Amino acid sequence: MRMYDVIEKKKRGFALTKQEIYDVINGYVADEIPDYQMSALLMAIYYMGMTDEELLYMTECMAHSGDMVDLSEISGIKVDKHSTGGVGDKTTLVVAPIVAACGGKVAKMSGRGLGFTGGTIDKLEAIPGMRTAIDEKRFFDIVNRLGLSVIGQSANIAPADKKLYALRDVTATVDSIPLIAASIMSKKLAAGSDKIVLDVTVGSGAFMKSVDDAIVLAKKMVAIGEGAGRQTIAILTNMDVPLGVAVGNTIEVIEAIDTLKGNGPRDFQEICEIFATSMLVLGEKGSEEECANMVKKAIQSGSGLDKFAEMIREQGGDESYIYHTEKFQKALCERKIFAGETGYISSMNTEMCGKTAVILGAGRETKESSIDNTAGIHFYKKTGEQVGKGEVIATLYSSEEKKLNDAASYLEKGYTYSKEQPKKMDNVIARVSKDGVVRNPDL
Ligand code: URA
């Protein structure tokens, strides 16, 4: 294979063969193909796209570039869940324990915060003592006994994706739908679960800003999963506002605990119950209706909350914090944010909300930055809600007073107001499976 010919072929819009794709990915990982040629190919893919067949070959090759986790030592159907990213997204902390409490199996590898989006591992590590770096044998043992474990992704999962993502990041090719699909699904295939439920987020805090683009991405990821023999469904959810009312590691853990008790914010509670139900259906625990009832019972009885506490204890954490959230350390400093106008909040720039949390210390400015677990934002009013000028709409938290000034002036710019009540996106927008797309309200 000549890399020049492959770039030329894609530039002209032709589909690459399986052999060409494997040669390119393997050659790039082995440092035989230079960054400048790979960059040119990525840009050609950006403009010309990829067929479902090309995308499956590329994803499988990326998945096999590192460890392929073998979960066969864990009995039962293992169902994974993955979000394409968002602000205030603590869904895994609620959904995984509920699924386990209902007899499902969740062996989950999660990530840390990336840019303005938070990460499940950073959130879990806000619980004193909690360890997310545990060896495979113990991980399997915990899932077999408890039904769930959430750990950090091992270093050698899809190294081709790591290298390609770093190149995309500096060549303006991150926001390519096929490249996002291959990146996410390569890690999902390598992580070993039998079935996958994808949360494809849409809106100002997501990679996909429009529902149409999100449906294209969802279809591509479902096609990859199914093509690789893993039943996959995708649910499109609203990320045009932060999910729930808390953004920041400790306060998101507390919000997840409230939701496990059935007292979560309405949008977040609904999304968690839908995802837990879908995971149980894929795990063959019953019909949609039966699984939805099981989820409600796990919340009412407290068995979901108990599962969460059990997992925390097994992974070295102090489970007393789960039942006594007042024990969590509170931020030293706080600042209120006031509504700028009387009327309705007509939009919140969710990416700016995420970046505000990073400014406060809840995320990393650089890879080396440490995280302030007490930092974050509590929203009292979100898009569509009525406000009076000067009313408190959010509180910012940080360990450092000086961070509050920068964060407050930045966040205030992220709101717009209107006199008329704005139309809001549904929390759950559509569901995509191999059988097609079903949009709300026909879900
Ligand atoms: N998340 C990923 O893992 N990869 C992408 O390309 C985008 C979001």
CATH code for the domain in which residue 203 is found: 3.40.1030.10
Same domain for 358 and 343? yes
Q: β-pairing, 148-152 with 106-110?
A: parallel
Rounded CA-CA distance 198/431 in Å is: 10
Which of ligand 1's atoms lies nearest the C-alpha of 180? 6
Pocket test for ligand 1, best of 165, 169, 170, 177 (most atoms within 8 A of CB): 165
Does residue 64 belong to any structural domain of this protein? no
Once rounded to an integer, what is the mean pLDDT over residues 320-345? Answer: 98
Distance 401 CA to ligand 1 centre (A): 33
Name the active-site residue from 83, 149, 176, 183: 183
Same domain for 339 and 287? no
- Residue-wise pLDDT for 28-73, tens only, equals 999 999 999 999 999 999 999 999 999 999 999 999 999 999 999 9
| Distance separating the N- and C-terminal Cα atoms of the chain | 47
For residue 367, pLDDT beyond 80: no
pLDDT of residue 412: 97
Helix axes 249-260, 303-314, angle to 10 degrees: 140
Distances (CA, A) of 10 to 161, 163, 168, 188, 405: 20, 21, 17, 26, 49
How many structural domains compose the chain?
A: 3
Does residue 60 belong to any structural domain of this protein? no
Rounded CA-CA distance 270/171 in Å is: 38
For residue 15, pLDDT beyond 80: yes
Rounded CA-CA distance 307/322 in Å is: 11
| Catalytic annotation present for 278 | no
Q: Could you tell me the residue range of the domain that residue 20 belongs to?
A: 3-49
Same domain for 28 and 175? no
Same domain for 89 and 157? yes
pLDDT of residue 118: 85
| Catalytic annotation present for 183 | yes
Does residue 70 belong to any structural domain of this protein? no
Tokens 């993502």 correspond to what residue?
165
* Ligand 1 site, CB within 6 A: 84-85, 174, 180, 183-184, 207
Once rounded to an integer, what is the mean pLDDT over residues 329-346? Answer: 98
Rounded CA-CA distance 378/368 in Å is: 26
Does residue 72 belong to any structural domain of this protein? no
Same domain for 298 and 246? yes
pLDDT of residue 30: 97
Tokens 């899809």 correspond to what residue?
158
Once rounded to an integer, what is the mean pLDDT over residues 279-290? Answer: 98
For residue 156, pLDDT beyond 80: yes
Name the active-site residue from 78, 81, 82, 195: 82
Same domain for 10 and 105? no
pLDDT of residue 388: 98
Partners of residue 107 on adjacent β-strands = 149
Quick check: helix, strand or coil at residue 148? strand
pLDDT of residue 112: 87
Tokens 């020049």 correspond to what residue?
4
Rounded CA-CA distance 1/419 in Å is: 62
| Catalytic annotation present for 161 | yes
Predicted confidence band of residue 99 (pLDDT cuts 50, 70, 90): very high
User: Rounded mean pLDDT of the chain?
Assistant: 96
Number of other residues whose CB lies within 10 A of the CB of residue 338: 14
Q: β-pairing, 195-202 with 231-238?
A: parallel
- Greatest pairwise CA separation for the chain in angstroms: 65
Distance 174 CA to ligand 1 centre (A): 8
| 330 in Cβ contact with 399 (< 8 Å) | no
**E strand segments, 239-309:** 246-247
Same domain for 287 and 316? yes
pLDDT of residue 21: 98
Does residue 65 belong to any structural domain of this protein? no
Give, as one character, the DSSP assignment of residue 206.
S
Once rounded to an integer, what is the mean pLDDT over residues 396-417? Answer: 97
Distance 66 CA to ligand 1 centre (A): 17
Query: For residue 302, which phi and psi values (nearest 5 degrees)?
Result: 85, 5
Same domain for 292 and 336? no
For residue 258, pLDDT beyond 90: yes
Query: Measuring from atom 3 of ligand 1, which residue has the nearest CA?
Result: 184
pLDDT of residue 26: 98
Once rounded to an integer, what is the mean pLDDT over residues 414-435? Answer: 96
Same domain for 89 and 149? yes
Rounded CA-CA distance 166/176 in Å is: 14
Distance 177 CA to ligand 1 centre (A): 10
Which of ligand 1's atoms lies nearest the C-alpha of 165? 6
Distance 183 CA to ligand 1 centre (A): 6
Same domain for 169 and 224? yes
The residues near 209 (Cβ < 8 Å, ≥ 6 apart) are: 202, 203
Query: Measuring from atom 7 of ligand 1, which residue has the nearest CA?
Result: 180
Same domain for 88 and 168? yes
| 372 in Cβ contact with 365 (< 8 Å) | no
Same domain for 296 and 341? no
Distances (CA, A) of 32 to 80, 161, 316: 34, 16, 43
- Residue-wise pLDDT for 202-228, tens only, equals 999 999 999 999 999 999 999 999 999
Pocket test for ligand 1, best of 84, 114, 176, 196 (most atoms within 8 A of CB): 84
pLDDT of residue 154: 83
Burial 47-70, CB ≥16 within 10 A → b, else e: eebbeeebbbbbbbbbbbbbbebe
Does residue 243 belong to any structural domain of this protein? yes
| Catalytic annotation present for 347 | no
| 24 in Cβ contact with 1 (< 8 Å) | yes
For residue 364, pLDDT beyond 80: yes
Which of ligand 1's atoms lies nearest the C-alpha of 174? 6
Once rounded to an integer, what is the mean pLDDT over residues 108-133? Answer: 92
Does residue 179 belong to any structural domain of this protein? yes
CATH number, position 32: 1.20.970.10
Name the active-site residue from 23, 161, 199, 240: 161
Domain-terminating residue out of 49, 65, 87: 49
Does residue 382 belong to any structural domain of this protein? yes
